[in-house]
Structure 1
Amino acid sequence: MRESGVREFVVEADGGSRGNPGPAGYGAVVRDAATGQALSEAAEYLGVATNNVAEYRGLLAGLRAARALDPGATVHVRMDSKLVVEQMTGRWKIKHPDLKPLAAEAARVLPPERVTYEWIPRERNKHADRLANEAMDAGARGEQWSASASTAELEAPAGGSTAEPEAPAAGPTAGPTARPDALAAAREAADVRAARTEADVRPARTEADVRPARTAAADVQAARAEADVRAARTVATPGWAPADLGAPATLVLLRHGETPLTPQKRFSGSGGTDPSLSAVGREQAEKAAVALARRGTIQAVVSSPLARTRETAAVVAARLGLDVTVDDGLRETDFGAWEGLTFAEVRERHPDDLDAWLASADAAPTGGGESFAETATRIAATRDKLVAAHAGRTVLLVTHVTPIKTFVRLALGAPPESLFRMELSAASLSVVAYYADGNASVRLLNDTSHLR
């Protein structure tokens, strides 16, 4: 008890989605903090939703159940979702429009000063996880979850908050509610990384800023789990991004095939002639189509409006059995009076303008062209729109040199001059993944292995 006569509850909550977005459900259990006795359960099938939405719905249900038991109680929330815990404590910003109202609603259930949050590894959140899976199973049968299957949990303590966590099973969880082993391993790895001390993640913060809720046993367990996952997992989340953020929006960036201007290295933007693919370019598009069909991950195709990109996109989309959507934001930079010229010809005719362009992203090509800064603003807006429209999906963008380099530069947080330090071949593939917390992971750059 924090205060004499004030009850303290522990809320354990979880949510899941089989598809992300897909059939989703949540589970929550309220325990007596002193005894570990499970006092109340809640679970619900949500229909189609994302993992993060389901996790927030689980949090809401747990907080409401605790309030129903005792409106004056204090509550300690324990979840294996790093995203929800960090956002509800205010350490991470909430950017996704679907999560903002849920977080605001959760903050209103009880006075914020009476609620604390703690991240826990998945194996210490099995009760809520099971309830969420029961709810999803019920939904698959066309039913809603009922508490009858879980009443045994309420008859005896399931292990208080200070109990040693149950050792993880040696093999995959049995039964129809089990998550795929590889996905569970990836999420476990991300959760363990998130459980390291704040000094490992945010060196500028002091230990006094960190809620001292983890026990020494939990830290040892997390360290052991991390070692086990590194040795045994079969899939890996690229970079550092937590798996519990859900599937990212993955943009596969395909530069168009060669045009007659490509081998001559002439400026070819959106402000001059609009060349079509050469015979070599059409062959490159076919090879890219074969490679992308073999991967089998593309769910949509979006193209720049220019002829060379639309031709490339049409070849690939035909192979994939998809339609092509045209987005003007993916067009190449307008190179003004430099269109059709080589670099040497521009140096000869417009030396001062070229020097200024090379020195500053704000400088535009001669004759009212588009600066790299203007291109970056356009690409950032296009990126945000596409990521929001294709959350959790893999989308092929058929575009040009400058837009692709800009996507990569922005993802890396690199300076504008990095545009001159990237090689990008015709019909090459690059990949950037965007996560729910606003971070990005560059997975591939200038892959031309399919052209050999």
Structure 2
Amino acid sequence: MKRDPTSLVKPSKGGSDDNRYNEAVERVKPKAVRHLLLIRHGQYNMSGKSDEERILTDLGRKQAKLTGLRLQELSMPYTRLVRSTMTRANETAQIILSSLPAIPVSDCCLLEEGSPIPPEPPIGSWKPEPCFYQDGARIEAAFRKYFYRAEKSQERDSYDILVCHANVIRYFVCRALQFPPEAWLRLSLHHASITWISVMPSGRVILRALGDTGHMPPDVITSS
């Protein structure tokens, strides 16, 4: 349910009608919480000329393994894992999955890395790719696909794992918290870090963790 429940109920005329109105609102209100765990891929070979060559480094594989073990320790009832179709995200997801119970897995090209929106303040070294405008629309579409309050038919809290990229996650955080999305480049995320966002039944959004790497020793933590 992406709309406020009150928008689905005929407005009250007052008096005794208020009770029927309140009961109707309660019937369509969501009850479950949607948790989204956003995982950045591990360190990868940045010198690769194509996506297929930008594979995880040995350190990146270790980072992904540690994050998989952390998710295992948290022991949440994970609902599914969705991964970006880029090689480094796919590899990271596969390593994470080796530490988790069997859960549904799917690929989503909307989660691929890109330049979501011109940053503010402008950064001299930042230059958007030629497909900048396509990236922005795609990443916004990804946000709308995954960030919404639970349907009223959802009875239990859900825990979705999204394995994707720093720019995508930073944009998601800004959009979810209703911060200016142009601020996305002011956030920094380490490789294989965990960002945890909850969408409450009321539609309120809670950022529970941003770029968490507390499960990694200091010599394993990298961001580029």
With the length of structure 1 as denominator, give the TM-score of the two structures.
0.39
- 2:63 pairs with 284, 289, 311, which one? 284
Higher helix share: 1
Equivalents in 2 of 1:386, 1:285: separation in Å? Answer: 29
Q: CA 1:95 to 1:257, structure 2 compared with 1: closer, same or farther past 3 Å?
A: farther
Residue in structure 2 matched with residue 115 of structure 1 by the alignment: 17
- 2:51 pairs with 273, 277, 292, which one? 273
Residue in structure 2 matched with residue 93 of structure 1 by the alignment: 4
Equivalents in 2 of 1:385, 1:412: separation in Å? Answer: 12
Equivalents in 1 of 2:149, 2:51: separation in Å? Answer: 28
Say whether residues 1:250 and 2:30 are aligned partners.
no
Q: Which amino acid aligns with 1:279?
A: D
* Deviation, structure 1 residue 368: 3.1
Q: Which amino acid aligns with 2:208?
A: R
Equivalents in 2 of 1:283, 1:95: separation in Å? Answer: 48
Between the two proteins, the alignment pairs up a number of residues equal to 198
Q: CA 1:290 to 1:326, structure 2 compared with 1: closer, same or farther past 3 Å?
A: same
Taking only the aligned residue pairs, the percentage that are identical comes to 22
> C-alpha offsets along residues 285-320 of structure 1, whole Å, 9 cap, x if unaligned?
111111100111123211111111111111112211
Q: Which amino acid aligns with 1:296?
A: S
RMSD in angstroms over aligned alpha carbons?
3.6
Equivalents in 1 of 2:38, 2:147: separation in Å? Answer: 15
- 2:111 pairs with 330, 339, 342, which one? 330
Q: Which amino acid aligns with 2:79?
A: Q
Residue in structure 1 matched with residue 221 of structure 2 by the alignment: none
Equivalents in 2 of 1:401, 1:429: separation in Å? Answer: 11
Residue in structure 1 matched with residue 73 of structure 2 by the alignment: 294
Instruction: Report the secondary structure of 1:423's partner residue.
Output: coil
Residue in structure 1 matched with residue 146 of structure 2 by the alignment: 383
- 1:432 pairs with 191, 197, 200, which one? 197
> C-alpha offsets along residues 265-295 of structure 1, whole Å, 9 cap, x if unaligned?
x8x9xx9534111111111111111110011
> C-alpha offsets along residues 339-381 of structure 1, whole Å, 9 cap, x if unaligned?
xxxxxxxxxxxxxxxxx944589xx825333477435522322
Residue in structure 2 matched with residue 367 of structure 1 by the alignment: 130
Matches within 5 A, 1:123-134: none
Q: CA 1:334 to 1:372, structure 2 compared with 1: closer, same or farther past 3 Å?
A: closer
* Deviation, structure 1 residue 115: 2.5
- 2:99 pairs with 319, 329, 345, which one? 319
> C-alpha offsets along residues 127-185 of structure 1, whole Å, 9 cap, x if unaligned?
xxxxxxxxxxxxxxxxxxxxxxxxxxxxxxxxxxxxxxxxxxxxxxxxxxxxxxxxxxx
> C-alpha offsets along residues 373-410 of structure 1, whole Å, 9 cap, x if unaligned?
43552232222479659772011111100111112101
Equivalents in 2 of 1:445, 1:393: separation in Å? Answer: 19
Matches within 5 A, 1:7-406: 93-94=4-5, 100=8, 103-104=9-10, 113-117=15-19, 246-261=31-46, 273-274=51-52, 275-297=54-76, 298-322=78-102, 323-333=104-114, 357-359=118-120, 365-370=128-133, 373-384=136-147, 392-406=157-171
Equivalents in 2 of 1:315, 1:366: separation in Å? Answer: 29
* Deviation, structure 1 residue 423: 1.0
Contact 1:379-1:406 at 8 Å conserved across structures: no
Contact 2:115-2:167 at 8 Å conserved across structures: no
Contact 1:313-1:324 at 8 Å conserved across structures: no
Q: CA 1:415 to 1:253, structure 2 compared with 1: closer, same or farther past 3 Å?
A: same
- The higher radius of gyration belongs to 1
Instruction: Report the secondary structure of 2:94's partner residue.
Output: helix
Equivalents in 2 of 1:385, 1:369: separation in Å? Answer: 25
> C-alpha offsets along residues 424-451 of structure 1, whole Å, 9 cap, x if unaligned?
0100000011122322111110100111
Instruction: Report the secondary structure of 1:302's partner residue.
Output: strand
Q: Which amino acid aligns with 1:273?
A: D
Contact 1:303-1:309 at 8 Å conserved across structures: yes
Equivalents in 2 of 1:291, 1:95: separation in Å? Answer: 39
Q: CA 1:366 to 1:442, structure 2 compared with 1: closer, same or farther past 3 Å?
A: closer
Equivalents in 1 of 2:190, 2:45: separation in Å? Answer: 14
Q: Which amino acid aligns with 2:41?
A: H
For CA contacts below 8 A with separation 6 or more, give which structure has more relative contact order.
Answer: 2
Q: CA 1:366 to 1:279, structure 2 compared with 1: closer, same or farther past 3 Å?
A: closer
Instruction: Report the secondary structure of 2:195's partner residue.
Output: strand
Contact 2:174-2:180 at 8 Å conserved across structures: yes
Contact 1:365-1:371 at 8 Å conserved across structures: no
Equivalents in 2 of 1:387, 1:403: separation in Å? Answer: 22
Say whether residues 1:444 and 2:223 are aligned partners.
no
* Deviation, structure 1 residue 420: 1.8
Q: CA 1:330 to 1:376, structure 2 compared with 1: closer, same or farther past 3 Å?
A: closer
Equivalents in 2 of 1:93, 1:387: separation in Å? Answer: 11
